[in-house]
Amino acid sequence: MNTLYFNDWAHAYSDKNTGLAKRFAEEFKKSLHLAKDDERGYTKIKTAVDNYYQRLDWDRTNVKDIIRIILNRPLEPKDSMTFYINYTVKLPPNKYTAYGYSSKNGYFLKDWYLTPAVYNGKWQLYSNKNLEDLYTGITNTTINFIYPKDLYLTSNFVQGATSKFPQGQSTILKGENRKSCEIVLQSDQNLSKHITKHVVVLTDIETTKYDDISQNISIERTMAYIHENLGEYPHKELLVSTFDYNKDPLYGINQLPSFIRPYEPQFQFELKFLKTALRKFLEETLFTNPRKEKWVNDAILNYLMIKYVDQHYPGQKLLGKLSKIWGVRSFHLAQMDFNEQYPFLYMFSARKNLDQSLITPNDSLLYFNQKVANRYKAGLGLAYLAAYIGEENVGNSIKQFYQKNKLKEVEASEFISTLNASTQKNIGWFFNEYVSSDNQIDFKIKKVKKKEDSITVTIKNKTGTNIPISMFGVKKDSVVSKYWFSNIKDIDTFTIPKNGEDRLVLNYDQKIPEFNQRDNWKTLNGFFSSNKKLKFQFLKDSENPYRNQIFYMPVAGFNIYDGLTPGLRLTNKTLLQRPFLFDFAPSYAMKEKSFVGYGSFRYQKYHAKTGFYVSNYSIGGSTFHFQTNSRYSTITPAVSFGWRPDDLLSNKREFLSFRYVNVLRDIDENLDLETDPDYSVLNARYINSNIGIIDYSSWFIDAQHSSNFSKVSFNYEFRKLFENNRQLNLRFFAGKFLRNKTDSDFFSFALDRPTDYLFDYGYLGRSEDTGIYSQQIIIAEGGFKSKLRNPFADDWMATANASFNVWRWIELYGDIGFMKNKGEKKRFVYDSGVRLNLVTDYFELYFPLHSNNGWEISQPNYDEKIRFIVTLSPKVLTGLFTRKWF
């Protein structure tokens, strides 16, 4: 070798173009992008010399947190070399990731010093992307660590004696056959030492109302379980900290407010401790490629978590004590066992068509898959395999694999080989179909035919994923028979003996993460008994495969004509996404004293993960008031098609939609409409968007055709957050009537406040010309903020909108454009002002300064010229907080 590579992950915080900064942008986090220079982390290399103290040439690769060192002489096979690097590390604050320095004088260090990259035929060079997956060699490391005297040190390395001196203290840290060193420096020493039968444990994990003696017993119990299933821990001490738990918590428990304690203290403590201890145990001893083969550790960890609950808490419910409360216990979610969360949360991703194979590199996984879904799918895979070949075989394989390969670099293929050697059954499907593929699993019982002493069953493989499927014979609620069927590529028929079954159920124990379980059973008691019973349920619930569920819940809306509109929403929408949905919300308008509301049917069909991936078919309608004693009703059939790129992390999307909007209006006899009360518009639109927090671009072409007009328009939006933290917002709109037989401006292009004849926009007062509700603005068509004279164009319009920030969320904006009406000359229009961009697209304020109206700020009634954007829809607001997960 003439060149060596070192991981310098501390340098990932150095600027806005590192892999870490780009990963944050994908997750809609711009904290590192907006960081000041003194809030950044970096490594400054002063000197690098070999054992002859000759200077070594070095540079950074294009990913910036990998260092390349050019050797002065080649390093021969089995030869060694000594060299010295003198460098300083500037730590970042821990507001970007869990690591760095805290505002409370604490320090959290991981991957903070140079470590050798791995060479196994080729260099494995990975950037820091906050994924906890540094790939470095197994090393023997000694660190002489000097730190302030008022701090306590905790580390995964063995701590030698601490020497104190007037300026601070010094500790020798040693790690043999280790990866990287982790250090926590805090002003309080919260760790307690537990000497168990198998290993010394250092931990500060605790649970409210669980005393120290009970914690000791639980720690002994969980460590005995780990030893039984994995074997001896090769190091003297195991560090199990709250800091580590918070990086990979028990999802569900950690989302609940602290005053809600659904689980018994013992259960909560043991699960928190077990998950963190298993994670640290495997990280410190089982060295697979953490970027490309992380699924092996995930599978072992989550399988042992599932098995622990099965063994020690077999009756534990997912909602704990909440499942016994009146009003909650009727929910199917409350009836689910604790371990059912694993297929449930994995399916949360699969039902959105966003599940990814277990061999997908860690940095190519969606955030939800990386944190939850793929980890749970990996554990479920071993539980599925254990149900097929026996728990003992899987358990022995895990232990054998661990004992043989601990403290060694090992590949996933070794784990597969160990599993294969444990059984006579063919389990090639486990790696080829379950691990390596993102194909969904879905079977159904197509038909059943009873004979005198046997039953003939026809099973259909709906997705073609060739894996074994279990079938149970159930009498009342007791299992009387169980069978496994393999190699069902499409449709196959099997004959089984009669054992008094009244139902046949596929995957009854839910060991298999199946896409849809609603067609998994057939009754043997006749046609009518096979119908699923209808269940009305208050609020949304998890899917019950044995019931037809309809959920009802209160809803409320508001506009100034209807006033407050309380109502009752009826839907079949469960916590997991499903293909066919209906959604109806009849409501009562308090002001108009009449019924209003909306309703829709929708069917969604996923075709693939990428490329042409989805089709949507729907028909919907709504009825509300658009003026006092004047009602509008719409009926809209629609179809749309979607495309996405191969990279699921990309936010790029393309959609082509067609809809036919039918509007019927009943008007007050005193109201004079400018147009016919009823009309229909055929609307086609192509959308191309790539929405990111640093770079944002979106454009669409829209075409509309009606009996009285035809028109086309083009809309383009661009946002860019520059490295100097200035953000530029640009928008361009152009629209042209191909024909226009109308006599009013109802269908015309608008500068600042479209008439919304298709009823797409959430106007609080859509017919208002004066008052606070007329000041609501929705950026569409012209996108102007000032109210100009003659704001409509019945021929063509072209406008441009721009804004840039001068300080944080305070921006200056300007709009210019040309517009033309039939029989008139084109007109130049403009406006400008100040924009308070508090939450982009959700809450904004506009203060006009100068426009065609002159200096608006000096004109009377200026408060009536201020415009605002406000979003009240809970669904839209929720998307602001959940967008990083998918």
Tokens representing 141 are 């490391």
Q: By mean pLDDT, which of 243-257, 310-324, 452-466 is the weakest? A: 243-257
Task: Name the region of 285 (left: φ>0; alpha: ψ -120 to 50; beta: rest).
Answer: alpha
Query: pLDDT digits over 567-587, tens only?
Result: 999 999 999 999 999 999 999
Tokens representing 699 are 């454009």
Under 8 Å CB-to-CB from 2, ≥6 apart: which residues? 70, 71, 74, 75
pLDDT at 250: 86
Q: What amino acid occupies position 234?
A: P
pLDDT at 879 over 70: no
Taking the C-alpha atoms of residue 73 and residue 126, their distance in angstroms, rounded to an integer, is 26
| 531 burial via Cβ count (<10 Å: 0-12, 13-18, 19+) | exposed
Under 8 Å CB-to-CB from 503, ≥6 apart: which residues? 473, 474, 475, 521, 522, 523, 524
* Residue that has been written with the tokens 């982390």 in this structure: 41
pLDDT at 542 over 70: yes
Taking the C-alpha atoms of residue 564 and residue 589, their distance in angstroms, rounded to an integer, is 6
pLDDT at 101: 94
- Mean pLDDT along residues 615-634: 95
pLDDT at 530 over 60: no
Distances (CA, A) of 346 to 384, 429, 729: 14, 20, 38
The residue with greater pLDDT, 390 or 500, is: 390
Q: By mean pLDDT, which of 580-594, 672-686, 736-750 is the weakest? A: 672-686
- Mean pLDDT along residues 462-472: 94
pLDDT at 883 over 90: no
pLDDT band at 261 (very low <50, low <70, confident <90, very high): confident
Give the chain's count of helices (H) and strands (E). Answer: 13, 47
Taking the C-alpha atoms of residue 244 and residue 200, their distance in angstroms, rounded to an integer, is 17
Judge whether 788 and 880 are in contact, CB under 8 Å. no
Distances (CA, A) of 340 to 308, 315, 382, 430: 14, 12, 15, 21
| 576 burial via Cβ count (<10 Å: 0-12, 13-18, 19+) | middle
Compute φ and ψ for 271, nearest 5 degrees.
-70, -40
Residue 361: in which H helix or E strand, if any? none
Contacts 24+ apart (CB under 8 A), 631-638: 631/594, 631/596, 631/665, 631/666, 632/663, 632/664, 632/665, 632/759, 633/663, 633/664, 633/665, 633/666, 634/661, 634/662, 634/663, 634/664, 634/759, 635/662, 635/664, 636/660, 636/661, 636/662
pTM: predicted TM-score of the whole model, two decimal places: 0.92
Taking the C-alpha atoms of residue 566 and residue 755, their distance in angstroms, rounded to an integer, is 26
* Pairing outcome for strands 115-116 and 118-119: unpaired
Q: Where in the chain is the domain with CATH 2.60.40.10?
A: 443-531
* Per-chain mean pLDDT for the chain: 92
Beta-strand (E) ranges in 367-441? 408-409
Residue 244: in which H helix or E strand, if any? helix 242-247
pLDDT at 343: 93
pLDDT at 388: 96
pLDDT band at 74 (very low <50, low <70, confident <90, very high): very high
CA-nearest of 237, 228, 160 to 201 is 237
pLDDT at 672: 78
Query: pLDDT digits over 137-155, tens only?
Result: 999 999 999 999 999 999 9
Taking the C-alpha atoms of residue 405 and residue 399, their distance in angstroms, rounded to an integer, is 10
CA-nearest of 691, 717, 790, 699 to 748 is 790
DSSP letter for 553, please: E
Distances (CA, A) of 468 to 6, 385, 425, 427, 464: 45, 10, 11, 9, 12
Judge whether 745 and 786 are in contact, CB under 8 Å. no
Judge whether 32 and 16 are in contact, CB under 8 Å. yes
Residues 177, 180, 186, 191: is their CA dihedral positive or negative?
negative
CATH 2.60.40.10 for the 443-531 domain, yes or no = yes
Taking the C-alpha atoms of residue 454 and residue 447, their distance in angstroms, rounded to an integer, is 14
